[in-house]
Structures are given as structure tokens and as C-alpha cells.
């Protein structure tokens, strides 16, 4: 189990951000890449399940999954707004727990 926590923390620490107040957070789109989800549409379903788990545990979803808008370049060079989330560590754990079981099997086998 210690190996599992070490692998998980290493991956999370590699993509961790810090805001102007020193609070740690993770962007959902960075976590999507770290967890090998190719499509946002698939990953957003995992986020929805994690949000439900957050709510069912008595926590305020907005405290752990605030949405943010980012401007991203598209093929023509123009910018378009896209949704992302600033996730707490708890939100990241909920996403991992509600994610693709195939990925989780590999994750647990690394322990």
C-alpha cells in the first residue's frame, strides 16, 4: 500500500499548481492527461461521478471542483473558451476512485 501512495503522490505532485495564496490545486485537464484519458468527453463523465461522490459524502462540490474558463488556441490560431476545473487534492482522489477500472488495475499492480 505504501508503494501505491508513493506512485499516486508522485503523479499528483508533478502536475500540482499553487495559487497566489499558496493553496495547492490541480487542473482537471492536466489530470486527464496524467490518467491517460484521450477524450475530455470520457473524462468529464468521471468528473461527474466524482462530483456525485463528493456531494454524497456531505461536502460542497463547489469547494472541491470550481470550474474555470481557459482560452485555448484552435487550428486556425483563434482562441476559444474551454472549461476546466481547479481541483482540490480530495477531488483528485475522488476522480481516481471513480475512474477507469482498467487504469486502476494497472495502478494497483504497480504497488
Over residues 1-12, the pLDDT tens digits come to 444 444 455 577
Q: What is the pLDDT of residue 104?
A: 53
Q: What is the pLDDT of residue 90?
A: 95
> Which grid coordinates are listed for 11?
503523479
pLDDT of 52 higher than 70: yes
Strands (E), 1-111: 17-18, 24-27, 67-73, 79-87
Our count of domains for the chain comes to 1
What range does the domain containing 78 cover? 2-109
Average pLDDT, integer, range 12-20: 91
What does pTM read for this prediction?
Answer: 0.77
Amino acid at each position: 500500500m505504501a508503494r501505491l501512495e508513493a506512485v499516486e503522490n508522485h503523479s499528483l505532485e508533478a502536475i500540482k499548481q499553487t495559487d497566489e495564496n499558496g493553496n495547492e490545486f490541480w487542473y482537471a485537464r492536466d489530470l486527464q492527461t496524467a490518467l491517460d484519458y484521450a477524450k475530455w468527453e470520457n473524462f468529464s463523465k468521471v468528473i461527474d461521478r466524482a462530483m456525485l461522490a463528493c456531494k454524497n459524502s456531505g461536502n460542497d462540490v463547489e469547494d472541491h471542483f470550481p470550474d474555470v474558463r481557459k482560452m485555448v488556441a484552435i487550428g486556425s490560431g483563434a482562441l476559444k473558451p474551454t472549461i476546466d476545473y481547479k481541483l482540490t487534492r480530495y477531488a483528485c482522489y475522488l476522480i481516481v476512485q471513480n475512474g477507469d477500472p482498467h487504469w486502476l488495475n494497472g495502478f494497483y499492480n504497480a504497488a
